[in-house]
Amino acid sequence: MQVIIFDDRQCSNFYPVTHTRCVGDLRCGILKLRQRLQHIFDADDTCVILDPRLQTIYRERHPDWQINTVPAGQKLYLNSRIKLESDTIDEIEAMSPHSALVQGNEIVAILSSAEYRFGDPIPNGIKSIPAKTLLYQHIADLVHDNARLIDRDFQNVFYEADNFFETEPGVTVLHPYNIWIGEDVDLAPNVVLDASGGPIVVDSGVKVMAGSVITGPAYIGKNTLVKIGAKIYGGVSIGPVCKVGGEIESSIFQGYSNKQHDGFLGHAYIGEWVNLGADTNNSDLKNTYKKVKIYSYQAKTQIDSGSRFMGCVLGDHVKTGINCSLNTGLVVGTGSNIYGGKLFSNFVPDFSWGEADSLCSYRFAEFSQTASIVKARRGMGMTKAEMELLKNLSNGE
């Protein structure tokens, strides 16, 4: 039976980070949403249904995937927004053929030989069954579920009963059986790995410089550099090839992004190719202790994040200057370059340039030149499909 991970029209609730990727490729926990579902339901290959505007770039990035192509035979369609709880797997595995699990008007899963496409309603002849399984509704849901999923992924994917590793003299390890360390990891003296509050996974090729403290649950992705004296608290997932320093708490880095310097980042979601200037700080708690509101592209206004703790959301290719101050719930759109000492609040539109009170449009030619330089520093380039997607987002200005 073919397992198909599908996005629906709610993918815009996860903008700006889903401007350039499907919801299934959002990181939450150690794995991405899609990877976790594929692991649980034994998907032999990758078959996805996603927004047609992403089809070209995904076929370029993943020529071996089945993208918006539905094979014949019995299929299990799984919504990429599924929130895995204790009874989620049982509920899905108990489905009978020609049935669909639904939450209100939203499809959770379909088991059928019928063809289903992006944004379609439930196919004819499919019986709808109310589901207990919940779906993530916006990016703040991922930030607040990250710590739980790090622990879940560790127990189900990374845990080894005979786990054994050696560290250099001067490295402090607390609860070593709650820690997984990959190959070619470099832990400098005076590094502390404290897994007493949850598991820690330090993936292959990571370098942790002297004096850094990492408390679990935490995931440090492949080939990431943790700078001298970094303070990484629980609930942090750092994707591959990042450089991180300062103080980070309950935040997710998609990958290929830098926060090298001092400054606080909390309850935030950071896309790819982001660079935070020295002493950039974000607030994740209002002085009034009221619940934080966060900008929604879909609603075109701020919505309740459901929590008193919510920092910022930065889309791909965002850059901040030194001493930038980011308010609770701030959303900075894809490709923006912001700077100055005035507080950024609410929403910075895609491809903006300037200070908080004097934003203008970031010309695409200038943006693309910078983006190309940034990617070249990692031995990568801007592809034609990637450039076209970003140009369309910027309206080609």
Contact present, 282 and 57 (Cβ < 8 Å): no
**Which position has the token pair 């310097």?**
261
The tokens of 99 are what?
Answer: 């049935």
Q: Where are the domains of the chain?
A: 2-136, 142-393
Cα–Cα distance between 134 and 370 in angstroms, integer? 40
- Give the DSSP H/E element, type plus range, for residue 151: helix 139-153
pLDDT of residue 231: 98
Cβ neighbours of residue 57 under 8 Å, at least 6 residues apart? 20, 383, 385, 386, 389
Q: How far is CA 358 from the centre of its chain?
A: 30
Please state, in angstroms and as integers, the Cα–Cα distance from residue 1 to each residue in 4, 175, 220, following that order: 10, 41, 34
Contact by Cβ (8 Å): 22, 54: yes
Provide the residue count of the chain: 397
- Which of 323, 313, 346, 334 has its CA nearest to residue 391? 334
Closest alpha carbon to 135 in 100, 88, 90:
88
- The burial class, CB within 10 Å (0-12 / 13-18 / 19+), for 61 is middle
Helix axes 364-376, 384-393, angle to 10 degrees: 140
What is the side-by-side strand order in the sheet with 213-215? 172-174, 192-194, 213-215, 231-232, 247-249, 264-266
State the pLDDT at residue 44: 85
Q: 330 burial class (0-12, 13-18, 19+ CB within 10 angstroms)?
A: buried
- Which CATH number describes the domain made up of 2-136? 3.90.550.10
Distances, alpha carbon 345 to alpha carbons 219, 238, 348, 364, in Å = 29, 25, 8, 24
Q: How far apart are CA 231 and CA 227, in angstroms?
A: 9
Sequential pLDDT tens for the chain (397 residues): 899 999 999 999 999 999 999 999 999 999 999 999 999 999 989 999 999 999 999 999 999 999 999 999 999 999 999 999 989 999 999 999 999 999 999 999 999 999 999 999 998 999 999 999 999 999 999 999 999 999 999 999 987 766 666 677 789 999 999 999 999 999 999 999 999 999 999 999 999 999 999 999 999 999 999 999 999 999 999 999 999 999 999 999 999 999 999 999 999 999 999 999 999 999 999 999 999 999 999 999 999 999 999 999 999 999 999 999 999 999 999 999 999 999 999 999 999 999 999 999 999 999 999 999 999 999 999 999 999 999 999 985 5
pLDDT digits over 306-348, tens only?
Answer: 999 999 999 999 999 999 999 999 999 999 999 999 999 999 9
For the chain, the 3-state helix, strand and coil shares in percent, each to the nearest 5, are: 20, 30, 50
Q: Pick from 320, 318, 360: which is nearest to 342 by CA?
A: 320
Read off the amino acid at residue 387. M
pLDDT at 59: 96
- CA-nearest of 177, 79, 156 to 120 is 79
Helix (H), strand (E), coil (C) string for 88-103: HHHHHHCCCCCEEEEE
Per residue in 183-235, pLDDT (tens digit) is: 999 999 999 999 999 999 999 999 999 999 999 999 999 999 999 999 999 99
Residue 266 and residue 281 in contact, taking contact as beta carbons nearer than 8 Å? no
Q: Which fold has domain 142-393?
A: UDP N-Acetylglucosamine Acyltransferase; domain 1 (2.160.10)
